[in-house]
């Protein structure tokens, strides 16, 4: 079966044999995708002309209501999505929930938040700017929705959330969406779009999907569009260097590699709640979605006196977790999404081993439960220990996209700051400490190189939202190697899909142009 | 004489013979510049480590005070700057004032505006985000100053304002500046930096300048830095594609070509104040700085019945303006800054002539007053008339960077919108009309493709701030071919020099981190 693409308001099949999508446990072929022969230029034009016009004719409030309806449709089909996740991504129920329920939660959050913008169709940004001695000539800034398409080139690890966390602010802004999911796991994204289109919630052209190769898609972007990419730094560079992107100064948002940190403060010694919370979170991050999260913990920093105890505690927990076919009772950790990802992870692990010694797992000959190593895509969870600090060649640079992390001891806070920053820009760092003096020094020293810093202590206990969880109300993104992008953060996310401009003129004209506009201050409130 | 570069807190001379800077009227050599042999990597490191640390240790208020002191130093040396402008750029007193006084005004504006941020050193962005059922775990967004360098690669047409309109928000943010002015007119920028450094206003490393080739400068940028470029689309593309910029997701702000529009509304017929105001502004834009402004009017749209009368009125005014040596009494229009610019402008004019007929000027054999055509860089002001509309091949795309503009008649508002948008993204459009119904349709139809729209009617009269004038309190920048950047717009400009991040944790920790932070809402107020 070849999955349909949805372009120009129609369901279209790509030409040729297509690319097979596989079950990463059995190797079985599930469906095929193809984008061959499709007119992507026409699809972009249709999305702009039909989808964009219709969306912009609606108010923020009306579009927010659409997001709520989309969340309902997805909730109604949740079981089907879990089944596709299991088959196409080898997801346990917890893994699938992380993706699918995360998508629904994000849509609901934006549906609720978007109501505050009411019947407006654009935003006024700040107050009147005086430009003459009287009010005869003034300035007024606005944020107006882009008249282009939000093009999402997405990663394989979040086929559900990856679409909707971007689509929610785009659609709420009045900008149509065209998503190209990563080929290996495109099925779930495609099914969700199919369900939403069938429900007739959005106007024609408001959502499009192309599965398979992106082909000439980027040749058709221009100044009106936004490209949002999640994936490898290499592909990000190709997008940024694309002639049409460069020629038209196309807005590009990138979320790429990130060698995220977990940090045990000087007080997080064995026997404390902070130590235990760190161990629990590290194990969760290593195993949920088999470590295939851009936010997952890759480096674990612990005071030198504590590092070995930490590694032992994490290893002990890992040893009790069953890795194998997620259809089997008791299995906690599934496969990677593909044999290619398995090979890449094992290659990365081999690099880390040049810097660090294995404390647990990472056996390439490991045998998963109820799965054939010859056809499946499993990687045994691995914990490493590196005492090279800043001299390590790979640990601070290589993001192994699987259940792999490295413990690094630190001698003092200055050494800790230098090593954490050595990641070159990260999505997130989590800190386990109740030492306010340490935290108030440490957090500002790393904050400019991170999109998010999470701090957990014994009082917070298990009430935190998780190192790896992206909350729709909080910023997701990070500088440098993390791609430099910004997603979510509540209504702030709408800024990417609006253009700021200023009108200079008489006060009665500015009054007329402001009529019905909402206050952009609501985005940051 | 070879101008010194200021790097690593020292005045350093580049190696070799250097590149001569010339008088565009006489062709006489004035000074030389060279960046050969200088260690630009060390300069970047020094700026970050010394300049950045010292600036960040100051409060916004203290840094605002520095901007005020810089404005005073520049005011005190204003005559010297006018002299350099005259000699190196061939500027009339009005042209030099546009650049030099614009710089001083911008610095004073930021000095005054920055006070509102008070004793703070960072900004809290929005309120607390609820993340648990109680306040035990919450989120707080911040904007924290970048720990890198603001690298300015600047254009030849604004050696004074081009530096300070960017440096004001960067320094106010606590980010050190390294400027590489365009070589042909680097002298004025260099002298201003020299005067400011000599005045001891800023800490060592807070401001650096390299004159001549940029050489390996961009090899040394990383995730902490910002690159702000003003100039051609070709150079902008090279910067965006630079390996270090791409690898480290370096923030890049570009202000490039722009084929700006002036629009006479359907009501702006001969005999109305709006018609006369349009004529006056078009002539001003054609002649001030000899049309060498990125914001200058390049296309003039008039109702079909009015276009010929408009062209005649503009031509009549142009014919009365003396073009020649700005040292000569009565001269209103000076040369372009170099023979290379002269050649490029004449080449562009030749392209426009394939679409349009000359109404006035543009004679390549024209003889300027008191200057030798064989060595000087004059271009006779030129007005063209094009009735090809959307079918024109060059008029909507070729930015002739000199005293050249084209009149285009329009049949109806829809045709007008299509032609204005055909510019592919512009810095500014000005509209001359008192027809509220027309304006309320037209402005939203073009706003997303512009950074600024100025509207002038008879009531506003001469109290507007000008089509081509960039006000520090209003956004400067534009989408698409205009580069996609954003500068100024009051304190909003500080966002480019800050990194947004969120801290998730307990409320007392967040209280401690917020201590002394100013509210980011002040940026947009």
Per-residue pLDDT tens digits for B177-212: 999 999 999 999 999 999 999 999 999 999 999 999
Q: What is the CATH number of the domain that holds B278?
A: 3.40.309.10
Which residue among A139, A236, A474 sits closest to B474, beta carbon to beta carbon?
A: A139
Cβ-Cβ contacts under 8 Å, B397 against chain A = none
Active site residue A79: no
Structure tokens at B277: 């105001």
Residue B365 Cα, gap to closest chain A Cα (Å): 35
Residue A132 lies in a domain: yes
In this structure, the answer to whether residues B217 and B363 fall within a common structural domain is no
A315 and A433 belong to one structural domain: yes
Structure tokens at A360: 């647990």
A414 located within any domain: yes
Q: Which of A66, A211, A294, A386 is catalytic?
A: A294
Give the pair of three-digit tokens for residue B34: 């060279």
Please state, in angstroms and rounded to a whole number, the distance separating the CA atoms of residues A85 and A99: 9
Nearest to B499 among A471, A479, A506 (CB): A479
Q: Residue A480 domain-assigned?
A: no
The alpha carbon of residue A326 and the mean position of all alpha carbons in its chain are separated, in whole angstroms, by 23
CB A346 within 8 A of CB A382: no
Single residue among B431, B452, B473 that ends a domain in this structure: B473
Residue B479 counted as domain residue:
no
> Is the distance from CB of B405 to CB of B384 less than 8 angstroms?
yes
Predicted local confidence at residue A33, as pLDDT: 98
Query: A420 and A512: one domain?
Result: no
Q: By the CB < 8 Å criterion, does A418 face chain B?
A: no
Give all strands (DSSP E) within B243-363, no chain letters: 251-255, 260-264, 297-303, 322-323, 331-333, 357-361
3-state SS, residue B221: coil
Q: B391 with B504, same domain?
A: no
- Does residue B478 lie in a domain region? no
pLDDT for A525 equals 56
Question: Are B521 and A521 a contacting pair at CB < 8 A?
Answer: yes
- Contacts with A248 (C-beta within 8 Å, 6 or more apart), sequence order: A221, A222, A223, B424, B425, B480, B481
To the nearest whole number, what is the mean pLDDT of chain B?
97
Tokens 């800790």 locate to: A416
- Strands B297-303 and B322-323, by their bridges, are unpaired
Give yes or no for residue A335 having a pLDDT over 80: yes
pLDDT, tens digit, for every residue of B334-366? 999 999 999 999 999 999 999 999 999 999 899
- Same domain membership, residue A377 and residue A502: no
Q: Are A136 and A160 in the same domain?
A: yes
In the three-class reduction of DSSP (H, G, I as helix; E, B as strand; rest coil), residue B107 is classed as: helix
Per the structure, the count of domains in chain B is 2
Whether residue A220 is found in the same domain as residue A278: no
Residues of chain B contacting A142 with CB distance shorter than 8 Å: 447
Q: What is the pLDDT of residues A250-309, one digit of tens each?
A: 999 999 989 999 999 999 999 999 999 999 999 999 999 999 999 999 999 999 999 999
- Angle (CA) A111-A112-A116 rounded to 5° is 105
Query: Does B247 lie at the interface with A, CB-CB under 8 angstroms?
Result: yes
Please give the average per-residue pLDDT across A405-433, as a whole number. Answer: 98
Range with lowest mean pLDDT among A106-110, B429-433, B521-525: B521-525
Of residues B38, B3, B7, B39, the one with CA closest to residue B18? B3
B104 and B209 share one domain: yes
Verify that A402 and A514 share a domain, yes or no: no
Could you tell me the pLDDT band of residue A18, with boundaries at 50, 70 and 90? Answer: very high
Our answer to whether residue B487 is catalytic in this structure is: no
- How far, in Å, CA of A272 to CA of A433, rounded? 10
For A388-410, the pLDDT digits (tens) are 999 999 999 999 999 999 999 99
CATH of the domain at A184: 3.40.605.10
Q: Which pLDDT tens digit goes with each residue over B466-492?
A: 999 999 999 999 999 999 999 999 999
Residues β-bridged to residue B227: B151, B252
The pLDDT value given to residue B123: 97
Q: CA B137, CA A450: separation in Å to the nearest integer?
A: 19
Residue B249 lies in a domain: yes
Compare CB distances from B453 to A483, A501, A524 and report the shortest one's residue.
A501
- Is residue A77 in a domain? yes
Q: B229: closest CA among B278, B180, B171, B295? A: B180
DSSP B324: B
B94 with B106, same domain: the answer is: yes
Which is it for the CA torsion B112, B113, B118, B122, positive or negative? negative
Whole-prediction pTM: 0.97
Question: What's the Cα-to-Cα distance from B97 to each of A160, A212, A368, B104, B291, rounded to whole Å?
Answer: 57, 58, 76, 10, 15
Indicate if A71 and A212 belong to the same structural domain.
yes
**A 20-59 near B (Cβ less than 8 A):** none
| The pair of three-digit structure tokens given for residue A154, joined into one six-digit string | 């997405």
Q: Is residue A47 part of a domain?
A: yes
Give yes or no: residues B516 and B499 share one domain: yes
The DSSP line for A409-457 is EESSHHHHHHHHHTTSSEEEEEEE---HHHHHHHHHHHHTTEEEEEEE-
List of E strands, A49-122: none
Question: Which residue range forms the structural domain that includes residue A129?
Answer: 5-197+205-256+485-524
Mean pLDDT computed over A141-163: 98
d(CA B447, CA B442): 9
For A519, the token pair is 């206050």
**% chain A with pLDDT above 90:** 99
Q: Is ipTM strictly over 0.90?
A: yes
| Contact yes or no for A63/A172 (Cβ under 8 A) | yes
pLDDT tens profile B84-141: 999 999 999 999 999 999 999 999 999 999 999 999 999 999 999 999 999 999 999 9
């Amino acid at each position: 079966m070849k999955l349909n693409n949805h372009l120009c308001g129609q369901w279209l099949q790509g030409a040729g044999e297509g690319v097979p999508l596989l079950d990463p446990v059995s190797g079985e072929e599930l469906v095929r995708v193809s984008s061959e022969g499709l007119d992507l230029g026409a699809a972009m034009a249709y999305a702009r002309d039909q989808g964009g016009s219709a969306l912009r004719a609606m108010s923020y409030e009306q579009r927010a209501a659409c997001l709520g309806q989309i969340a309902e449709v997805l909730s109604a089909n949740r079981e089907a999505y879990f089944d596709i996740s299991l088959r196409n991504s080898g997801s346990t129920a917890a893994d699938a929930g992380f993706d699918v329920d995360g998508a629904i939660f994000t849509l609901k959050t934006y549906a609720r938040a978007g109501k505050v913008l009411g019947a407006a169709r654009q935003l006024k940004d700040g107050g009147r700017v005086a430009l003459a001695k009287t009010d005869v000539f003034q300035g007024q800034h606005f944020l107006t929705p882009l008249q282009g398409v939000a093009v999402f080139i997405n990663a394989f690890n979040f086929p559900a959330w990856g679409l909707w966390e971007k689509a929610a602010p785009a659609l709420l802004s009045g900008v149509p969406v065209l998503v190209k999911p990563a080929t290996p796991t495109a099925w779930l994204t495609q099914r969700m779009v199919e369900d939403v289109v069938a429900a007739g919630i959005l106007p024609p052209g408001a959502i499009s999907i192309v599965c398979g190769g992106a082909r000439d898609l980027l040749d058709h972007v221009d100044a009106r569009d936004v490209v949002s990419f999640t994936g490898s730094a290499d592909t990000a560079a190709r997008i940024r260097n694309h002639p049409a992107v460069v020629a038209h100064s196309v807005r590009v948002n990138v979320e790429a590699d990130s060698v995220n940190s977990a940090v045990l403060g000087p007080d997080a010694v064995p026997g404390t709640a902070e130590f235990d919370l760190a161990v629990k979170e590290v194990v969760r991050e290593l195993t949920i979605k088999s470590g295939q999260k851009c936010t997952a913990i890759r480096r674990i920093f612990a005071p030198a006196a504590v590092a070995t105890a930490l590694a032992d505690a994490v290893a002990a927990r890992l040893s009790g977790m069953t890795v194998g076919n997620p259809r089997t009772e008791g299995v906690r950790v599934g496969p990677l999404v593909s044999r290619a990802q398995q090979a890449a992870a094992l290659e990365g692990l081999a690099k880390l081993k040049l810097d660090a010694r294995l404390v647990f797992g990472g056996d390439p000959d490991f045998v998963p439960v109820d799965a054939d190593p010859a056809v499946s895509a499993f990687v045994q969870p691995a914990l490493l220990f590196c005492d090279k600090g800043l001299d390590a060649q790979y640990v601070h640079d290589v993001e192994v996209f699987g259940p792999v992390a490295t413990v690094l001891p630190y001698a003092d806070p200055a050494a800790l700051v230098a090593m954490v920053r050595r990641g070159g820009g990260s999505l997130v760092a989590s800190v386990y400490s109740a030492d306010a003096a340490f935290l108030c020094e440490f957090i500002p020293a790393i904050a400019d190189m991170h999109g998010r810093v999470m701090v957990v202590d014994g009082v917070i206990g298990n009430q935190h939202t998780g190192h790896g969880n992206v909350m729709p109300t909080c910023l997701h993104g990070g500088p440098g190697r993390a791609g430099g992008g910004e997603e979510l953060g509540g209504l702030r996310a709408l800024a990417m899909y609006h253009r700021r401009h200023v009108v200079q003129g008489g006060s009665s004209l500015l009054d007329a142009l402001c009529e019905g506009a909402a206050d952009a201050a609501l985005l940051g409130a």
